[in-house]
């Protein structure tokens, strides 16, 4: 995860380590290198520029030039700013409703269905919740089947209506079913499309209005870099979602989505997906991610 970015940042700091005396020029040189590393990791241009401007201000404010170990101080400042960029504190998923309802959104292939299963499993095993999964994709029978297979693996029931073409009704019926049968958590997996389109947005917005979820999560493939950020912006404008799920962080992800999304859409990254298996889910901790990036 983010291997290239980590290596590049390490190299940037060498500029400071190698110098006997630190000058404003080699601080600037280092930060120019840091900015290049961020841009190569597909970080949004404005985000990268603001980032290095802030680091520079803090570095000069904290007297990096006269510090005993200037490169260490710089690494600390960059670490703290990276954590801040990714949201600072960990964002908790609040599930107060009975049943609590979580609505999943995102493009097809983002990992939405897999994540629905992962979240159900995690909340069942760690928080003792009794989840009901809901298949609201009325276009792809294979998607319903996929959710059922996941449900069986984690022993969580899946609500679906094979004949229905009305996802709003399916979601509402599922909530009734949960109430009747004592499930305290309803996870609604919705249809994804290959690109953002009006019909898709109308449909998911209608489901959201009808079920009034405790949380709406936007699931996005971290491998898609800047596109991930643009898609997040479009979904957020329509859905005002609660938080982001970044999937496929186990792959060769460059880091741009993780580092840009928070600033661009002002919503926290809440969970990450780190593999195809149902256990491969983690709560997102910005400071820990900054630790990993800086090695």
Residue 81: how many other CB atoms lie within 10 Å: 18
Find the binder of ligand GDP among 35, 56, 248, 285 (CB under 6 A).
248
Answer yes or no: is 89 a known binding residue.
no
Query: Least separation, in Å, of the C-beta of 287 and ligand GDP?
Result: 21
Find the binder of ligand GDP among 12, 71, 160, 247 (CB under 6 A).
247
Query: Least separation, in Å, of the C-beta of 192 and ligand GDP?
Result: 5
Find the binder of ligand GDP among 80, 275, 292, 294 (CB under 6 A).
275
Question: Which residue is it, tokens 């960059």?
Answer: 78
Our CB check for ligand GDP shows the closer of 11 and 277 to be: 277
Task: Give how many residues touch ligand GDP by CB under 6 A.
Answer: 18
113 near ligand GDP, judged by CB under 6 A: yes
Answer yes or no: is 113 a known binding residue.
yes
Question: Which residue is it, tokens 């962080």?
Answer: 249
Answer yes or no: is 189 a known binding residue.
yes
192 near ligand GDP, judged by CB under 6 A: yes
Q: Restricting to residues 39-78, which ones interact with ligand GDP according to CB under 6 A?
A: none
Phi, psi of 191, rounded to the nearest 5 degrees: -70, 140
Find the binder of ligand GDP among 70, 99, 106, 255 (CB under 6 A).
106
How many Å apart are CA 244 and CA 111, to the nearest integer?
Answer: 12
How many Å apart are CA 9 and CA 14, to the nearest integer?
Answer: 9
Query: Least separation, in Å, of the C-beta of 235 and ligand GDP?
Result: 13
Our CB check for ligand GDP shows the closer of 94 and 252 to be: 252
The counts of H helices and E strands in the chain are 11, 8
Q: Interface with ligand GDP by CB under 6 A: which range of 88-96, 195-203, 206-214, 267-275?
A: 267-275
Q: Interface with ligand GDP by CB under 6 A: which range of 50-58, 73-81, 111-119, 203-211?
A: 111-119
Our CB check for ligand GDP shows the closer of 30 and 114 to be: 114
Show the CA angle centred on residue 262, arms to residues 257 and 265, nearest 5°.
Answer: 100
Answer yes or no: is 133 a known binding residue.
no
How many Å apart are CA 34 and CA 49, to the nearest integer?
Answer: 10
Find out whether 34 and 40 touch, Cβ atoms under 8 Å: no
Q: Alpha-carbon Rg of the chain, whole angstroms?
A: 22
Find the binder of ligand GDP among 88, 141, 182, 251 (CB under 6 A).
251
190 closest CA partner among 223, 239, 129, 154: 239
102-132 burial string, b = 16+ CB within 10 Å, else e? bbbbbbbebbbbbbbbbbbbbbbeeeebbbb
Q: Which residues are annotated as a binding site for GTP?
A: 106-113, 189-193, 247-250
Q: Please report, as ranges, the residues that interact with ligand GDP according to CB under 6 A.
A: 106, 108-114, 192, 247-248, 250-251, 273-276, 280
């Amino acid at each position: 995860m983010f291997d290239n970015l980590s290596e590049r940042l390490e190299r940037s700091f060498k500029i400071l380590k190698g110098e006997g005396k630190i000058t404003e020029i080699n601080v600037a040189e280092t930060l120019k290198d840091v900015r290049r590393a961020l841009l190569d990791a597909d970080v949004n241009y404005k985000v990268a520029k603001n980032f290095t401007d802030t680091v520079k201000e803090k570095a000069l404010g904290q007297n990096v030039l006269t510090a005993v170990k200037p490169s260490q101080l710089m690494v600390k400042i960059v670490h703290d700013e990276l954590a801040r960029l990714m949201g600072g504190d960990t964002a908790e998923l609040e599930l107060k409703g009975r049943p609590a309802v979580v609505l999943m959104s995102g493009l097809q292939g983002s990992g939405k269905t897999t994540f629905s299963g992962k979240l159900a499993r995690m909340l069942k095993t760690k928080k003792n919740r009794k989840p009901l999964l809901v298949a609201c994709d009325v276009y792809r029978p294979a998607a319903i089947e996929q959710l059922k297979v996941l449900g069986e693996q984690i022993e969580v029931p899946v609500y679906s209506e094979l004949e229905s073409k009305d996802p709003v009704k399916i979601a509402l019926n599922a909530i009734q079913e949960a109430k009747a049968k004592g499930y305290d958590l309803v996870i609604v997996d919705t249809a994804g499309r290959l690109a953002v389109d009006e019909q898709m947005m109308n449909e998911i917005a209608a489901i959201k209005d009808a079920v009034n979820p405790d949380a709406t999560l936007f699931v996005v493939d971290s491998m898609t870099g800047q596109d991930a950020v643009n898609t997040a912006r479009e979904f957020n404008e329509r859905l005002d979602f609660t938080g982001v799920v970044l999937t496929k962080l186990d792959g060769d992800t460059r880091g741009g989505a993780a580092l840009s999304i928070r600033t661009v859409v002002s919503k926290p990254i809440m969970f990450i997906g780190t593999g195809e298996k149902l256990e491969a889910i983690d709560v997102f901790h910005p400071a820990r991610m900054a630790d990993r990036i800086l090695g």
